[in-house]
Chains A and B, each alone.
Chain A
Amino acid sequence: MGSETAGAISLSMADLAIATSLVLVAGVVSMALRLGLGRTLLLASVRTVVQLLLIGFILEWIFSLEDAIPLFCVLAVMVVFAGRAAVGRVERTFDGIFWRSGLTLATTGLLTAVIVTAGIIGVDPWYKPQYLLPLLGMILGNSLTGMSLCLDKLLEDLDLRAGTIETDLALGASRWEAAREPVTNAIRRGMIPIINSMMVAGIVSLPGMMTGQILAGANPIEAVKYQVVVMFMLVASTAMGSTGVALLTYRRLFNAHHQLERQAIAAKKVL
């Protein structure tokens, strides 16, 4: 049994042992039905425990830091991984796609996170890791999905509709007049997931952060307030991220002579 302290119920090792028996249920089902998932389940369970413990210790260490420099190193690593993930599954690529996505994530992500910690929650100092880190994590996670979809759509359109775009250019369109439709369509595509989750928030899904706060003993209305802030934060960062990366891509693929550099777009294998 857990013991109640100030709202949240703290879990003992015995509680975790009981939770382990839940995995054993799945293991027994697997053996009974000969699903052959026994080893996989064991591996997955061990990984869950080890990975989460590891991040738990890392977070504990980061939260204890007084100095901002190691914290910003951690943030930089997060941005680099998110930047790589944002371009990883995009079906087409061009030279410099990675730094553009990383730069967009770093600026729009940090900007949004700082507005929330310093401006809305009022954390002092604004970079207090307990707040900045999880917020930035949520922002990057959502932004990279939006940017990924946005880039995929933009590069697909510029590649497949190059004939239409060059026709516009040939008839006197400026590069922006020729690119506006693909660019705005791509930004819209990037915004779809976050708008969908805002539409169904609370009806179809209870957002994870709110669930967590309620389990930790928070008043549901307080949890809702936080969740609203988070949702708005995510839609803002996704909008800025998609727009930023779409505009940087546009500047890269349309040169100063108002020409589409279609040979700069390369297809690639996506896993």
Chain B
Amino acid sequence: MNPEAQGEGLEVRGWSVGWGGELLQGPLDLTIHGGERIALIGPSGSGKSTLLTSWAGLHDPMAGTLSLDGRTPDDWGWPVFRSQVHYLAQRPSLGLARVSDALQRPFSFESQRGAYDAEAAASMLEELGLDTGILERRASELSEGQSQRVAIARSLLLQPRFLLMDEPTSALDGESAERVERLIEDRCTQSGLAVVWVTHDRAQAARLGGRILSLEEPA
């Protein structure tokens, strides 16, 4: 590997997570490079979500260091770090307003540099198999599958460098799930997006075509 690329990407060292002093996973070392696809599999309760949320800096680990391009979240500023390393929840929250408001809201955050592009939003929703009429609907009226896809669109529109997805297609049928897979794959190859994808579906993990990281039952 090119020595200049040392420290490039998202890097965790000696990473241990748990709740209430109880170790769930770790210590763990992992480096995720731009464009990479990683499937994270493991039994329920093995700490997949906890790992993802902690890598996105949403809570602190029991031990370990986290860095992006060799700089810690403290160096970046936590909001700026998280604007590049997104966590996408399995049951995403879109708020109470309309879908278009939910898509626009994050662009108002200081850490976000880009501007909301209504056309890009509409075409992305179509790529995900959603009718653009959904933009005017209240987010609370959406089905779980629609919410998951709107949340994926919201994240991609913000163009993060790393996307940590927690079973993003769990409420989707096979065809819709494959649309999501294709869209993500495009982003990885074309714009260097890196994803960590939590899934229970080994076939999906294989389809992603990258590394497969298998967690064991916590001790």
Contacts and interface: CB of A to CB of B under 8 A. Distances in A.
Interface of A: 163-164, 166-174, 177, 257-259
Contact of B59 (A168, A173, A259): A259
B149 interface: no
A230 to B, nearest CB: 39
A259 B79 contact: no
A173 B106 contact: yes
A167 B92 contact: yes
B170 interface: no
Interface stretch (B32-40, B82-90, B190-198): B82-90
A189 to B, nearest CB: 17
A171 B86 contact: yes
A167 B82 CA distance: 11
B154 interface: yes
B65 interface: no
Contacts of A258: 57, 78-79, 82
Contact of A174 (B56, B79, B89): B79
A174 B92 contact: no
Contacts of B89: 163, 166-167, 170
A258 B73 CA distance: 11
A242 B206 CA distance: 55
B146 interface: no
Contacts of B112: 171-172
Contact of B111 (A167, A173, A257, A259): A173
A98 to B, nearest CB: 25
A171 B93 contact: no
Nearest to B105: A168
Given A172-B83, A172-B158, A258-B79, 17 more contacts: A167-B89, A167-B92, A168-B109, A169-B58, A169-B79, A170-B87, A170-B89, A171-B82, A171-B86, A171-B109, A171-B155, A172-B109, A172-B111, A173-B111, A177-B109, A257-B60, A258-B82
A126 B89 CA distance: 57
A257 B58 CA distance: 8
Given A164-B93, A172-B109, A177-B109, A257 B86 contact: no
B45 to A, nearest CB: 18
A128 to B, nearest CB: 49
A167 B93 contact: yes
B18 to A, nearest CB: 13
Nearest to B78: A258
Of A168, A169, A171, A257, most buried by chain B (CB within 10 Å of CB) is: A171
Interface in B103-138: 105-106, 108-112
A183 B101 CA distance: 20
B95 to A, nearest CB: 6
A166 B78 CA distance: 13
Given A164-B93, A167-B89, A172 B58 contact: no
Contact of B95 (A164, A166, A177, A257): A164
Nearest to A161: B93
B208 interface: no
Contacts of B177: none
A174 B79 CA distance: 5
B93 A172 contact: no
Contact of A170 (B82, B91, B94): B82
